[in-house]
A and B are shown apart, each in its own frame.
Chain A
Amino acid sequence: MFRFPRWKIASIIAMTLAAFLIIMPSFLSKATFDQIKGKLPKWIPFEQVVLGLDLQGGAHILLEVDQNDVIKTMVGNLRDDARRIVREENVRSLAGGYGVQGRTVQFRIADANDRTKIMPKLRQLGVGAANAMGGVGAPSIEIVTAEDGMIRMTVTEAGLIDKMRRAVDQAIEVIRKRVDALGTTEPNIQRQGADRVLVQVPGLQDTGRLKELLGTTAKLEFRLVADPGYNPSDVDMLPQTDQPGVLPVEKQVMVQGEDLTDSQPGFDQRTSEPVVNFKFNIRGGQRFGEVTAANVGKPFAIVLDNKVISAPRILSPITGGSGQISGRFTVEQANNLSILLRAGALPAKMNIVEERTVGPGLGQDSIDAGKLAAYVAGVLVVCYMLTTYGVFGVFANVALAIHIAMIFASLILLQATLTLPGIAGIVLTIGMAVDSNVLIYERIREESRAGRSIISALDAGFTRAVATIVDSQSTMMVAAVILYFLGTGPVRGFAVSLGLGILTTIVTAVTMTRMMIALWYRWRKPTTLPI
């Protein structure tokens, strides 16, 4: 136990120094840190502790793709496709209209020849989506034909899952653009499970605006307002945002939001009312020009998520490929709308299923409280160890200090997040870390009382206690590992601190204490044990 080779001592000291060096940057203010960080080469691990949202403040929002909305869109598209095929193939034996129920579209083709003619085309609709999965997957629709010529096309589970998966991918792109437009630092946007997107924005206070940006699908359509005497089956009665009542709007969509290339908030030159200016791509510009030329004098409805924002009268053909949306906006509404149009529409409606927002004031309070608790715990434990074990208590306390430095150093190197429960975990390990020292010291005392010489008592104390230390620490490790895999956010932070604490305690309490006692023994050549 007392033969410590030079290299071992050197590497232990090097490890300790490294740990203290790694945690140094965390004591700097954000501004100083950024300044120094900019001057250093990239390979130097000059990082600060990553604080969780509960400590630095910010918004955590979990969004879920609305499955019913996805189904509605899929079935709607299916009906449109079926209608198109029936029309293209000149099928004349269509009996009645197209019925939509749940995930199924149904229609009756009375003539058997007509049915055989369109069947391959209908089947093709299901194959396309399945192939997009990369291989011959299950078909995305199932087609059943009844005796009376009724054709039922149903969206399959596989088709729905595939669609949801792609919807989440698209949504992440769109959400990233929208959140970036808020100009906050380092938002974190990631997929969670099959149908969810997690959005974390540090430092954000006004979640109202974020939620508005996230909760809007932003599907923009330009549609003509129906003339009086319209056929009810060709129009939708849509509510208006700038006035009460509904407006009959033709079902046919003339130009869509996906043809926009840019949109910016601005002010109307005449009324100085906030507006949104937009530009079309070439296809959209041409189409917009054609439609406005053919409908001069009629109201043109601008529809966002099935609500009419405004329905201005077309004064003259608009051929320049750009236009303006007005709708009695406030400046902020115009800003938001332009962000939404720039980022594009979400593939489906998304619901907020979980929200956790912490203001920066509370975050700072939590940091302060955690620090204070850590200092108080540290002082209590250090004093207690000193009065109980004297010089051996000093060794234990030095090991404790290094232990805590190592936890923080590993947190920084792993870039793991420190949360409030994480701080609690570290404070807890202040109390538990000395357990290993206590086990060793008590064993040494015992061996010494049993009549062993000092050196033999020290040796026996260490070797026997280490087995118990490894055992007892591994039981805590079990708890930490389970918590890590099942916990989310703050609780996971607790598991990380706890687990790291367990690993470093074995290094510090066992190896370092042993080294310190060995060096002390060589130096003082004691004749009695001071514990």
Chain B
Amino acid sequence: MLRFRLAPDNVNFGFMRFRRVSYPFSAILSVVSVVLFLTVGLNFGIDFSGGTLFEVRAKQGQADLTSLRALGDKLGLGEVEVQAFGGGVDATMRVRLQPGGDAAQQVVVEKVRAVIVNDYEVRRVEVVGPRVSGELVQSGTLGVVLSIIAVLTYLWFRYEWPLAVAAVIATMHDLLLTVGFFAVTQLEFNLTSIAAILTIVGLSLNETVVVLDRIREVMRKYKKTPMPEIIDLSINAVLSRTIMTSTTTLMALLALVFFGGHVIRSFSLAMMWGVIVAMYSSIFICSPVLIYLNPRAAEGEAEPAPAKAGKAKPAV
């Protein structure tokens, strides 16, 4: 049978040398992400900014984007964001939150529907009032904060402090870069984006745990070997798994991006970015931290209480 492997066996690649490149690189990306988030900001969808969204399909020919855009002025609704997709037959229109509370948003629906109903099939209408969007922002923020707390708690119980710190740094790095991704691409940031972020946190942690588990195992086996070598040994050992799993996950996500429909495209794209970043950070960000933190010393402290490290396998 034909076999192929993306990661050859017995690789022995010196990953740790790259920290002199990867650290400045990631630092720049993180700073750029924060700066972009604060200056350009995210393209908040109506879930968080409030307003009205229409998805329409032209009954004949192509959607006339100019005339749809002009509806904003014509109906006095302010700027209307129009985006075409599906080969130009479909379009989404986003009307900003109108002053005048919840009732004012309903007026928008009536007005717009009345004007377009002859030429377009209205396939989706979403109206989020000012109060509800405020609450969604709250629960979204709470979700991200809670997941960070949950991650920290998990790591606290799971690892000695140097490994936990390394994992936290990697997870935060992935979180920052994901936010940066939304700021750069200006993909719509909505409720499913929050779902994407939380899933990326989970995925990133998943990658990190696999690498850290192995580092801990190898560290106990070769007590005298210097840390950088131990880390390289561990990463090379799990490398084929990391590449395999990332590839299958990316395959699934590619299928979603190309065939899953426009409604979840921004979710799928963000997830793809997350998988790549998580793979990168588990190797180039998380592990090198351990060179500086000397986990062996902490290991010595943790030895009298093996219950904490109970899940780790004894060295062979």
List the B side residues contacting A98 at CB < 8 Å.
none
Closest residue on chain B to residue A436 by CB atoms: B245
Cβ contacts under 8 Å, B103 to chain A? 351
| Residues of chain B from 258 to 310 with CB closer than 8 A to chain A in the complex | 258-261, 263-264, 267-268, 271
CB-contact partner of A438 in B202, B244, B253, B268, under 8 A: B244
Shortest Cβ distance from residue B129 to the other chain A in the assembled complex, whole angstroms: 4
Distance (Å) between the CB of B282 and the closest chain A CB?
11
Across the interface, do B237 and A354 meet the contact criterion of CB distance under 8 Å?
Answer: no
In the complex, the answer to whether A377 meets B125 with C-beta atoms within 8 Å is no
B43 contacts the other chain (Cβ, under 8 Å)? no
Contact residue among B109, B139, B245 (Cβ-Cβ distance under 8 Å from A435): B245
Q: Is A424 an interface residue (CB 8 A)?
A: yes
Would you call A445 and B245 a contact (CB within 8 A)? no
> Is the Cβ of B255 less than 8 Å from the Cβ of A380?
yes
Residues 109-142 (chain B) with a chain A CB within 8 angstroms = 109-110, 113, 121-129, 131-132, 139-140, 142
Q: A64-B131, A427-B255, A486-B139 are in contact. Are A475 and B205 (CB under 8 A)?
A: yes
**B169 on the interface (CB 8 Å rule)?**
no
For B26, list chain A residues within 8 Å (CB): none
CB atoms of B132 and A476 under 8 A apart: no
Contact between A424 and B248, CB atoms less than 8 A apart: no
Contact residues, A353-409 vs B (CB, 8 A)? 353-359, 361-362, 365-366, 369-370, 372-374, 376-377, 380-381, 384-385, 387-388, 390
Contact of B261 among A353, A369, A442, A488 (CB under 8 A): A369
Q: Tell me whether B201 is interfacial, beta carbon within 8 Å.
A: yes
Known contacts A387-B4, A438-B245; is-contact A361 B121 (Cβ 8 Å)? yes
- A354-B127, A381-B252 known; A491+B194 contact, CB < 8 A: yes
Q: Is A343 an interface residue (CB 8 A)?
A: no
A27 vs chain B, min Cβ distance (A): 21
Interface flag for B313 (CB, 8 Å): yes
* A-side interface residues, number (CB < 8 Å): 76
A479 contacts B by Cβ under 8 Å: yes
The answer to whether B241 touches A442 (Cβ under 8 A) is yes
A-B residue pair count with CB separations less than 8 angstroms: 230
Q: Are B109 and A355 in contact (CB under 8 A)?
A: yes
Interface membership of A144, Cβ < 8 A? no
Report the bound CA distance from A373 to B267 in whole Å: 14
B124 and A357 contacting across the interface, CB-CB below 8 Å: yes
Q: How far is the CA of A428 from the CA of B271 in the complex (A)?
A: 9
**Set of chain A residues within 8 Å of B110, measured between Cβ atoms:** 208
Within 8 A of A (CB), among B192-218: 192, 194-195, 198-199, 201-203, 205-206, 209-210, 213
Q: Which chain B residues in 139-189 approach chain A with CB under 8 Å?
A: 139-140, 142-143, 146-147, 150-151, 154, 158
Report yes or no: B102 in contact with A351, Cβ–Cβ below 8 A: yes
A420 near B: Cβ within 8 Å?
yes
Residues of chain B within 8 A of A369, CB atoms compared: 259-261
| Min CB–CB distance A260 → chain B (angstroms) | 28
> Is the Cβ of A388 less than 8 Å from the Cβ of B142?
no
Q: Does B106 contact A (CB under 8 A)?
A: yes
Tell me, yes or no, whether B73 is within 8 Å of chain A by CB.
no
CB–CB A445/B143 < 8 A: no
- Stretch from A3-11, A30-38, A463-471 forming part of the interface with B: A463-471
User: Considering only CB atoms, which chain A residue lies closest to B141 in the complex?
Assistant: A486
Per CB-CB distance, the 3 closest pairs between chain A and chain B, nearest first, are A431-B252, A479-B202, A369-B261
24 A-B pairs whose Cβ atoms sit less than 8 Å apart in the complex = A208-B110, A352-B105, A353-B129, A359-B124, A362-B55, A366-B263, A376-B259, A381-B252, A384-B247, A388-B5, A388-B244, A428-B252, A430-B248, A442-B238, A463-B313, A467-B213, A470-B311, A476-B202, A479-B147, A482-B146, A483-B143, A486-B143, A491-B195, A498-B199
